[in-house]
Chains A and B, each alone.
Chain A
Amino acid sequence: MSEVTKEVLLEVRDLKKYFPIRRGLFRRQVGEIKAVDGVSFDIYQGETLGLVGESGGGKSTTGWTIIRDLEPTAGSVRFQGQDLSILAHGEMRRMRRHIQMIFQDPYASLNPRMTVGSIVSEPLEVHKIGTSDQRRARVQELLEIVGLNPGFINRYPHEFSGGQRQRIGIARALATNPTFVVADEPISALDVSIQAQVVNLLWDLKHEFGLTYLFIAHDLSMVRYISDRVAVMYLGRVVEMGSTEDVYRSSLHPYTQALVSAIPVADPEVEMTRQPIILEGDVPNPANPPSGCHFHPRCVHATEICLQDDPEFRNLGQDAEHWVACHHAEQVQGQTFGN
């Protein structure tokens, strides 16, 4: 999409987040869950990067670690050239006005004891922006922007529907005029009819305010609709990343192919003949991931090398970058399903 420049806004390098597993009387560490295991990507100014994958794949953990709600185990996150992972707490807090988040659950993410007005103006208060009159005006403006009646300012969250609550959450995220917004499954808790509204709202807001999104989701059709580029995660690693068209139309990784083939098509004739690739088995235990390529136990293309060597994350794109971590990407490529 046109407004994307090639200026890097956020640079994630080899980001890792391991959760220790502790057992026994002395809480000895007996292992670790590698929720995010060496993730690298760039997000360009003005683009939307979709982050997709199965539940438990580390998508949300990646989001939380980027905004440092979780401390990264290793790696760096550079935002406008500044490494967030080494900022002192106070500095990080000041930085937060530029980086905001939209949450998955619109019921749990709004404090039931606060009015809509105080919820939306909280970021302004925290960052000491404006006088109380200005903040009030700004809140009303924000409510209007997200499509709510500004008169709702004195109401409480319980009086709203899921979609309306999510709009309140979006208004809160926009209050400080952030540059970068992490949307952590912002639509997966909503009814399908409302999902489209919220996605459209996010899309409008992005263009109106020049936002950059990291859009975390497992609904591939929604991600396709809103994202400029897509990164696919499996077991804590990015396995494929490229422009939305490339990833969806000419997937290079067998896992992506399986995901894409599972998207229903809104055309009964195509849908009749559509043959989804059914993955065998479950996502392996991230505390004890398979050797070599993490995906090999479920992969139809797996050979000896996949059991032994970690596939390199390489760029196979011609015009645009298209990264993939698969030993057999070249062979896999031809077998993409056309939808």
Chain B
Amino acid sequence: MSRTKPQAARGGTAASEGIEIAPAAGDWLVASRSPVRRAALRFFRDPLAVTGLLIMALIILITLIAPRLFSWEEIINVSNATKLQPPSAAYPFGTDNLGRDQLGRVIWGGRESLRAGYLVVLIGLGGGTILGLISGFAGGWVDNLIQRCVDVLLAIPGILLALSVVGALGPGLVQVMLAVGLANIPDYTRLIRGSVLEAKENEYVRAARVLGAGNGRIMFRHILPNVIGPILVYATLGLGIAIMITAGLSYLGLGAQPPSPEWGAMLNLGREFMRHAWWMPVFPGLAIVIAVLSINLIGDGLQDAINPKLRK
């Protein structure tokens, strides 16, 4: 491609032409740091965030290999001989009132609790993202319709909404996940709609429209990537809350049903024996605290990494 050099007569700018053109040729095809990669680098420089991530990774690893450590039969097996034993070498977390090994139950319970938490967030985030994107992008009556539905859902306290869903579908962990997930959708919808309203005014959205891009492309390639960062932070923090709420509903007896172990349900059971066997509520309780704490550390780290200017 031969470029015509501007004639000298044209404003005498020929001398400055080329100043901006590219550094050395050695730069060829260097993949550079994307905004995501820069955020990741900041994240991994934050010791608290990395600690949270390590703890979470450890928890996930342990829950994944739970079936190799304890069989299902082992943890639901009732035995009078081993009932209510304090922590010892044989039973590091003690045993419960039915003689079941608490360590095994806490580990298996993590499977239930974490899965519930992730699913709740996934339902809320997925539903909220789609509704929020449509609502914010379309505007007009579509926006109005979606927002009024969200208003209705927001007017009902989340726990009540969850209770009524469980009331309608009957108790069980799946029902609780659905209920809490649904109760989460309005929050995410609002959050995403707000960011979309802001993002769609960006000039690059106009640019995409002018060059002929369709609505789907604009929503998913231009708007979503630019709003998803803060939403993911919120979702991470929401994961901790989701784990607590599902545990809370299980504690109320609406979630996981016996003999299935779940942290909230175990806590509920342990409550009755707290005075004689402190280890029964303490270990599932600690598990909840550690899981939620590590998730919050990750969330805070993400927040700082995505938006370094907000840092104190």
User: A residues engaging B (CB < 8 A)?
Assistant: 67, 69, 93-94, 96-97, 100-101, 103-105, 108-115, 122-123, 126-127, 141, 144-145, 147-156, 158-159, 161, 163-164, 167, 169, 172-173, 176, 193-194, 196-197, 199-200, 203-204, 207-208, 225
Question: Taking the complex as formed, is B3 at the interface, i.e. its CB lies under 8 A from any CB of chain A?
Answer: yes
Listed from nearest, the 6 A-B pairs whose CB atoms lie closest are A149-B22, A96-B212, A108-B203, A151-B28, A196-B13, A109-B203
Which of chain B's residues have a CB closer than 8 A to the CB of A112? 35, 204, 226
Verify B226–A200 contact, CB threshold 8 A: no
Q: List 23 A-B pairs, Cβ < 8 Å.
A: A96-B211, A96-B212, A100-B211, A101-B211, A108-B202, A111-B208, A111-B225, A112-B35, A123-B211, A145-B1, A147-B18, A149-B28, A151-B30, A154-B30, A156-B32, A156-B34, A173-B211, A196-B13, A197-B20, A199-B11, A200-B6, A204-B3, A225-B11
Cα distance, A108 to B23, chains bound together (Å):
24
Verify A103–B203 contact, CB threshold 8 A: yes
Which of chain A's residues have a CB closer than 8 A to the CB of B211? 96, 100-101, 122-123, 126, 172-173, 176
Cα distance, A151 to B202, chains bound together (Å):
27
Cβ proximity bits B201-233 to A, threshold 8 Å, 1 near / 0 not: 011101111111110010001100110000000
Cα distance, A67 to B210, chains bound together (Å):
8
Which of chain B's residues have a CB closer than 8 A to the CB of A141? 1
Question: Taking the complex as formed, is B89 at the interface, i.e. its CB lies under 8 A from any CB of chain A?
Answer: no
Cα distance, A122 to B212, chains bound together (Å):
9
Known contacts A122-B213, A158-B35; 5 additional CB pairs below 8 A are A109-B203, A110-B204, A154-B31, A199-B11, A204-B3
> Which of B17, B22, B204 touches A152 (beta carbons < 8 Å)?
B22
Cα distance, A67 to B204, chains bound together (Å):
16
Verify A126–B212 contact, CB threshold 8 A: yes
> Which of B1, B20, B30, B225 touches A113 (beta carbons < 8 Å)?
B225
> Which of A93, A114, A161, A225 touches B212 (beta carbons < 8 Å)?
A93
**Given A108-B202, A113-B35, A126-B212, does the pair A208, B29 have CB atoms closer than 8 Å?**
no
**Given A161-B20, A197-B17, does the pair A203, B10 have CB atoms closer than 8 Å?**
yes
> Which of B1, B21, B36, B207 touches A103 (beta carbons < 8 Å)?
B207
| Chain A, interface SS category | helix
In the complex, residue of chain B having the shortest beta-carbon distance to the beta carbon of A110 = B204
Verify B213–A126 contact, CB threshold 8 A: yes
Which of chain B's residues have a CB closer than 8 A to the CB of A200? 6, 10-11, 13-14, 17
Cα distance, A97 to B211, chains bound together (Å):
7
Which of chain A's residues have a CB closer than 8 A to the CB of B10? 200, 203, 225
> Which of A69, A148, A199 touches B210 (beta carbons < 8 Å)?
A69
Verify B203–A204 contact, CB threshold 8 A: no
Verify B22–A113 contact, CB threshold 8 A: no
Give the size range of B's interface with the partner.
Answer: 35 or more
| Chain B, interface SS category | loop
Which of chain A's residues have a CB closer than 8 A to the CB of B18? 147
Cα distance, A223 to B18, chains bound together (Å):
22
B231 CB, nearest partner CB in chain A, Å? 14
Verify B32–A101 contact, CB threshold 8 A: no
In the complex, residue of chain A having the shortest beta-carbon distance to the beta carbon of B12 = A196
Which of chain B's residues have a CB closer than 8 A to the CB of A103? 203, 206-207
Verify B29–A147 contact, CB threshold 8 A: no
Question: Taking the complex as formed, is B88 at the interface, i.e. its CB lies under 8 A from any CB of chain A?
Answer: no
Verify B27–A149 contact, CB threshold 8 A: yes
Question: Taking the complex as formed, is B80 at the interface, i.e. its CB lies under 8 A from any CB of chain A?
Answer: no
Verify A197–B204 contact, CB threshold 8 A: no
Cα distance, A111 to B217, chains bound together (Å):
13
Which of chain A's residues have a CB closer than 8 A to the CB of B20? 147, 161, 163-164, 167, 194, 197
A330 CB, nearest partner CB in chain B, Å? 34
Cα distance, A203 to B17, chains bound together (Å):
13
Which of chain A's residues have a CB closer than 8 A to the CB of B6? 200, 203-204
Cα distance, A182 to B1, chains bound together (Å):
24
Verify A69–B209 contact, CB threshold 8 A: yes
Verify B16–A193 contact, CB threshold 8 A: yes
> Which of B23, B27, B28, B222 touches A111 (beta carbons < 8 Å)?
B222
Which of chain B's residues have a CB closer than 8 A to the CB of A122? 208, 211, 213
Cα distance, A169 to B211, chains bound together (Å):
11
Cα distance, A99 to B111, chains bound together (Å):
56
Which of chain A's residues have a CB closer than 8 A to the CB of B36? 113
Verify A115–B34 contact, CB threshold 8 A: yes
A94 CB, nearest partner CB in chain B, Å? 7
Verify B13–A148 contact, CB threshold 8 A: no
